[in-house]
Structure formats: C-alpha cells, structure tokens
C-alpha cells in the first residue's frame, strides 16, 4: 500500500515557476508551446525545465482529463503458440517506433482467455490507462468490436474492413496476395493445390481461403482442400499427411504460416517426395525459419514492422483528432527461394 521511498523529489512545474519568477500557469503555457508568454520568457523557462530535468507527470495529465499517452495491445494467443510466431514481435517493434516519437507508451497483455481480454479493455479504459487500443487477430463476427464501440474506446482494427463492422482498420490485402500466389502456381503448371490454413474464425484465414478458392476456380484449377489448423507443428503435420494420402494428392500446398510449412516439408520428405520436384511448398509470412530449411522455403513476405507502424500512426491520429481513415498496407510479396517448381505432368 505504501509507496516505496522516493529518492529525490521530482521537479514540478511549481518549482520551475519559483525559479523563473513567473506563475505556474505561464510555465505550463511555455512548456506546451502555447501562446501567452513572450519568446524570451519561454526560452528561460524551457532552459530551467531542462536543467532540473522536469518531466510532465503522466498521472496529473491523465487526471486532468488529458491523454494517458499510452495505447494498449492484447495478444490473444496461447503463449506456447507465440514462441514460434515471429509476427507479433516485429509488429510491436513497428508500433513502438511510432509511439516513441510521440511520447506514447505501450501497454501489453498476453492472454488467450477471451473474458480476460474483454475485461482488460474495460479496465484499461475505465482506469484511464490507455487512450486507445490496437486490435489484432480479427475474427469473423468478432464480439470485441461491439464492446469497444459500446464503451467508446478508440481502436484501430488490424484486419480486413469487410469484417471490421465499420471500425477504422489497417489491413494488408491478403486476397491480393492469395491471388498472386495461385497465379504463380498456375504459371508453374499446377492444377491441384491445397491450402493448410489458420484457425477458421480468423478473418484473414477466411479472406485467404476465399481468394484462393476464387482464383483457382477462375483458372480452372482444383482446390483440393482447405484444412484449418492452429498454426502448430502437430496440426500442420496432420494436415499435410491427410492431403498427401488423397487418391490424387496436390502438387502444391500453400501454408498459412512458417511452422506448418516446415511441418509439411518434413511430412513430404518422409513420404518420399522431393521438394520442390514432387511437391511445391509456399509459406505465408516469411521468417528466418524459411531460410533455414532445406530447401529454403518460398514465402509471402510482408513488411511487418511497417504494418505495425501504420497501425500506430492511424490510432494516434484517431486519438488526437477523433477520426481517422483506414489504411491499406502493402500486400505480401512472393519471395522465391527454391520450394516452388514446375508441376510434373
């Protein structure tokens, strides 16, 4: 209950005021770049503030009704899944870059429990801990959207606008990338492909699956199967085994993440198939894992840090101006590495 003993007293505006011989109001104007003080006085005040190392008390500002100068991010995944999920760290790094330029901090919560996630949003907002949040892993019929709208917490949704229910979004056009992937496979002569996808409830899973199916249909290719996984090694292995044991197995498989792609590679090899000669493999979201395998995996690469940076930029704009427009980030680019080859007749 009792706060720890603080060392030196924190410098406050009052101290700057007494040192500079003006009122605390003038100091506040000077320090915030607002009119009401002469340039000369302002310079003197700023010099003193820097000298004694004044930093605005976030508590006081937030209490006054101002910004908490922080945004929140809940990562709603199992910790064990996150271990091999390169997306979030890169995404966070991008967010941070923007936040630090604006003096904002990031509050993070890692929990897979939906109730806790919702409670966290409520609590962060009520307790004035954050000014807004970034919502990731958008789901189909995502119930979090209603909560956020209901309590009025500013939010930027990372995901396809079609599933965001009107919220401001930052999204990468996965449908476009999916088309490009199918097109590439088509050019290589593949006519029977499959998709080892992520969890069905994720909006981006659905976007990818639908786009691939549509593109296959238009090109007269067969989409042999869309198997949903939890991105894990085990699920990827199972999915790939199922696909390869079909009477007419696919000649190319697109995996929604790197781990399942590696699992697929292993399954193919132990089934006596050569990659890419007998089976082409394409991984969604590039990572060092894709480089390390044999053969290295071709991948759909996004600039994840700049994706995070965009999300942060849009959210800050939303917080500061009450409105913001959705932004489409660059869609994924196909990086060829050697796991794609001409389909064998």
Partner DNA sequence: CTGTTAGCGCATTCAC
Partner DNA sequence: GTGAATGCGCTAACAG
Q: By CB under 8 A, is residue 322 in contact with a copy of itself?
A: yes
d(C-alpha 88, C-alpha 144), whole Å: 19
**Which CB, 22 or 106, lies closer to a copy of itself?**
106
Q: By CB under 7 A, is residue 234 in contact with DNA?
A: no
Find the binder of a copy of itself among 24, 28, 41, 116 (CB under 8 A). 116
Site string for a copy of itself, 216-255 (x = CB under 8 A): ----------------xx----------------------
Which residues share a beta bridge with 202? 139
Q: Please give the angle made by the CA atoms of 47, 48 and 49, to the nearest 5 degrees.
A: 90
Cβ–Cβ under 8 Å, residues 240 and 249: no
d(C-alpha 70, C-alpha 107), whole Å: 7
Find the binder of a copy of itself among 26, 37, 70, 282 (CB under 8 A). 70
Residues 6+ apart with CB under 8 A from 207: 160, 162, 163, 174, 175, 178
Q: By CB under 7 A, is residue 52 in contact with DNA?
A: no
Residue 55 Cα to chain centre, angstroms: 31
Find the binder of DNA among 52, 66, 291, 294 (CB under 7 A). 66
Q: By CB under 8 A, is residue 264 in contact with a copy of itself?
A: no
Q: Taking contact as CB under 8 A, which single stretch among the options 163-171, 205-213, 276-284, 317-325 is the one that binds a copy of itself?
A: 317-325
Q: Taking contact as CB under 8 A, which single stretch among the options 41-49, 64-72, 218-226, 325-333 is the one that binds a copy of itself?
A: 64-72
Choose from DNA, a copy of itself, none: what does 79 bind? Cβ within 5-8 Å by kind.
a copy of itself
Which residue in 93, 189, 203, 98 sits closest to 141, CA to CA? Answer: 203
Q: By CB under 7 A, is residue 149 in contact with DNA?
A: no
d(C-alpha 282, C-alpha 264), whole Å: 10
From residue 209, alpha-carbon distances to 72, 174, 202, 233, 329 in Å are: 30, 10, 11, 20, 20
**Phi, psi (deg, nearest 5) at residue 61:** -65, -45
Classify burial at 67, counting beta carbons within 10 Å of its beta carbon; exposed 0-12, middle 13-18, buried 19 or more.
buried
Q: By CB under 8 A, is residue 1 in contact with a copy of itself?
A: yes
Find the binder of a copy of itself among 152, 220, 247, 345 (CB under 8 A). 152
Q: By CB under 8 A, is residue 93 in contact with a copy of itself?
A: yes
**Which CB, 45 or 319, lies closer to a copy of itself?**
319
Q: By CB under 7 A, is residue 21 in contact with DNA?
A: yes
Q: By CB under 7 A, is residue 36 in contact with DNA?
A: yes
**CB hemisphere CA count around 52 (13 angstroms):** 20
Residues of the shown chain interacting with DNA in the complex, contacts defined by CB under 7 A: 1-2, 10, 12-14, 21-29, 31-32, 34-42, 54-57, 59-61, 63-66
């Amino acid at each position: 209950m009792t706060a720890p003993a603080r060392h030196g007293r924190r410098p406050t505006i009052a101290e700057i005021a007494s040192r500079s011989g003006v009122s605390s109001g003038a100091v506040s104007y000077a320090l915030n770049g607002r009119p009401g003080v002469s340039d000369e006085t302002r310079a003197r005040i700023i010099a003193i503030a820097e000298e004694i190392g004044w930093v605005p008390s976030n508590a006081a500002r937030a209490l006054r009704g101002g910004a908490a100068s922080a945004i929140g991010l809940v990562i709603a995944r199992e910790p064990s899944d996150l271990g091999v999920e390169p997306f979030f760290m890169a995404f966070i790094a991008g967010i941070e870059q923007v936040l630090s330029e604006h003096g904002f901090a990031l509050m993070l919560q890692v929990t897979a429990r939906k109730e806790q996630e919702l409670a966290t949003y409520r609590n962060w907002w009520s307790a004035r801990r954050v000014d807004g949040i970034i919502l990731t892993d958008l789901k189909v019929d995502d119930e979090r959207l209603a909560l956020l709208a209901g309590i009025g917490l500013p939010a930027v949704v990372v995901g396809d606008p079609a599933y965001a229910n009107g919220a401001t979004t930052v999204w990468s056009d996965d449908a476009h990338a999916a088309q490009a992937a199918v097109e590439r496979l088509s050019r290589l002569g593949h006519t029977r492909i499959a998709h080892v996808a992520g969890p069905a409830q994720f909006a981006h899973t659905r976007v990818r699956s639908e786009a691939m199916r549509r593109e296959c249909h238009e090109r007269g290719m067969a989409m042999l199967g869309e198997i949903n996984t939890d991105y894990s090694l085990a699920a990827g292995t199972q999915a790939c085994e199922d696909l390869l044991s079909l009477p007419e197995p696919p000649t190319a498989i697109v995996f929604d993440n790197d781990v399942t792609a590696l699992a697929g590679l292993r399954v193919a090899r132990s089934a006596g198939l050569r990659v890419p000669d007998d089976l082409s493999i394409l991984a969604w979201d590039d990572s060092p894992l894709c480089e390390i395998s044999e053969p290295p995996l071709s991948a759909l690469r996004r600039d994840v840090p700049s994706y995070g940076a965009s999300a942060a930029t849009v959210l800050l704009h939303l917080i500061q101006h009450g409105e913001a427009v959705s932004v489409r980030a660059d869609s994924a680019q196909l990086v060829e590495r050697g796991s794609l080859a001409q389909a064998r007749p």
